[in-house]
Amino acid sequence: MMKRLRLTIGGVLSLFALTACAADKTVKTTPPAWVNSPYAACSADELCAVGSASNFALAKADARAGLAKVFQARIKSSFESDVRVKNDDVSSGARDFVSETSDVMLNATEIRETFKDGGKFYALATLDKSKAARVTRDEIDDLDEKMTALLTDESPAAAVRLEKLYEQRRGLNQRHITLTGESIPESVGYDQVYGNKKARVGKRHVYLSPKAGSKQSFVQAVRGAMTENGYTFATVPTEKTPVVRISMTAEQQFLKVDGFVKYDYHFVLSAPDKNGVDVERLAATFTESGLNEKQAYSKAIRSLKDYLKENILNLYF
């Protein structure tokens, strides 16, 4: 019986030793190669970055942010090379566009691996360049269609819009070059875009006539939106200068909430037609509330700016 007891105790001790050894092995696991060298786990068709933090969620976010920085740095380098070769100032605006929107590439990003070393967590983020290139190509195709349509539009606003889309297109093309090494041929070229703008912008010279008593912030909002879209302004009205009349009137509404007020702000922009008859061109009502009329009005001005940004291209006269 004693012999059996010794064997049993010995077995228990052996089992304890094996368990301790296994636990020790887990604690001392060697970090994978990608922790210090991201591309050790990536192919030539991918971009990679490693993130680290105090938990997996933050490590993954850090990895994605790091990948975005890597991608932006490569595009910036590509832009700088392009500018030196072509001496092209347009790339500056296009570069700004890509810098602001390259996060869309995170749609093609995945977290491939994670690793925990004591209290530190690591994540490996990868970007599939071919998938990102397809997304980019779709965006460029969409812009090409819009630019081709705008090229036939004779309004100065369309000319300004065309320029903005062209810069976006240039930025996206540079992204495509970074991903694939190949450029996508332009359907609307530089000379067309800037020749078109030169021919049209400035030909819409108008006299802006605000309704008596209009606040300066309202007038500035309308003038700013029109200026951005190719309109210039006369200091005095003439027979050859269309008079653009603008107004925004406030109408207080009932609001069953103590301490707050509510207003409808009616905006109208009118201009003469071919026969010289004043015609309403743009009209909208913004319903805003606030602690007082001043606060509600400030909100209405923001809504007006958003409205003009979306609808200024519909202004023809």
- The encoded tokens of residue 186 equal 């332009």
Could you tell me what percent of the chain has a pLDDT over 70?
A: 78
pLDDT at residue 12 tops 70: no
Taking all residues of the chain, what is their mean pLDDT, rounded to a whole number? 82
pLDDT at residue 235 tops 60: yes
Task: Using CA atoms of 296, 301, 307, 311 in order, give the dihedral in degrees to the nearest 10.
Answer: 150
Render pLDDT for 129-175 as a digit per residue (tens, 0 to 9): 998 899 899 999 999 999 999 888 877 777 778 888 998 898 889 88
What pTM was estimated for this model as a whole?
A: 0.57
The number of beta carbons lying within 10 Å of the beta carbon of residue 98 is 25
Closest by CA to 60, choosing from 107, 103, 109, is: 109
DSSP the chain: -HHHHHHHHHHHHHHHHHHHHHHHHHHTPPPPGGGT-GGGG--TTEEEEEEEESSHHHHHHHHHHHHHHHHHHHHHHHHHHHHHHH--THHHHHHHHHHHHGGGGGGGEEEEEEEEETTEEEEEEEEEHHHHHHHHHHHHHHHHHHHHHHHT--SHHHHHHHHHHHHHHHHHHHHHHHHHS-PPPPSS-HHHHHHHHHHHTTS-EEEEEEPTT--HHHHHHHHHHHHHTT-EE-SS--TTS-EEEEEEEEEEE---STT-EEEEEEEEEEEE-TTS-EEEEEEEEEEEEESSHHHHHHHHHHHHHHHHHHHGGG---
Q: What pLDDT, on the 0 to 100 scale, is given for residue 5? A: 44
Q: What pLDDT, on the 0 to 100 scale, is given for residue 15? A: 46
pLDDT at residue 21 tops 50: no
